């Protein structure tokens, strides 16, 4: 065993879905599906979880990691197909 990461320190789409998928989220899920991005629902929930943790600021256990992420991407090369779909016309 080279590296051990405790389960509590793994940020995954499975955990995000388990925490955030509620009946209130049905409308948002339908929006994503109608946009033709049903295959991206897992990433959608992970993005929501990350945004929630960013909003928590220093109270988030993920704060040090979030602070290490880049703040700006200057071109579409860094974006996925789904990100490009989300851009306004």
Tell me whether residue 40 is exposed, middle or buried, using C-beta atoms within 10 angstroms of its C-beta: 0 to 12, 13 to 18, 19 or more: buried
8 Å CB contact between 62 and 69 = no
Note if the pTM is more than 0.75. Answer: no
What pLDDT is recorded for position 33? 93
8 Å CB contact between 54 and 47 = no
The pLDDT confidence band at residue 74, using thresholds 50, 70 and 90, is low
Mean pLDDT of the chain: 89
Distance CA 22, CA 87 (A): 26
The pLDDT confidence band at residue 86, using thresholds 50, 70 and 90, is confident
72 pLDDT higher than 80: no
What pLDDT is recorded for position 81? 82
Q: Please give the structure tokens belonging to residue 70.
A: 């880049």
21 pLDDT higher than 90: yes
């Amino acid at each position: 065993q080279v590296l051990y990461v405790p389960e509590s320190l793994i940020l995954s789409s499975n955990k995000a879905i388990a925490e955030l998928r509620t009946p209130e989220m049905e409308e948002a899920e339908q929006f994503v599906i109608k946009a033709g991005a049903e295959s991206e629902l897992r990433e959608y929930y992970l993005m929501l979880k990350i945004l929630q943790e960013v909003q928590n600021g220093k109270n988030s256990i993920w704060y040090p990691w979030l602070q290490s992420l880049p703040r700006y991407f200057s071109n579409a090369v860094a974006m996925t197909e789904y990100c490009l779909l989300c851009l306004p016309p």
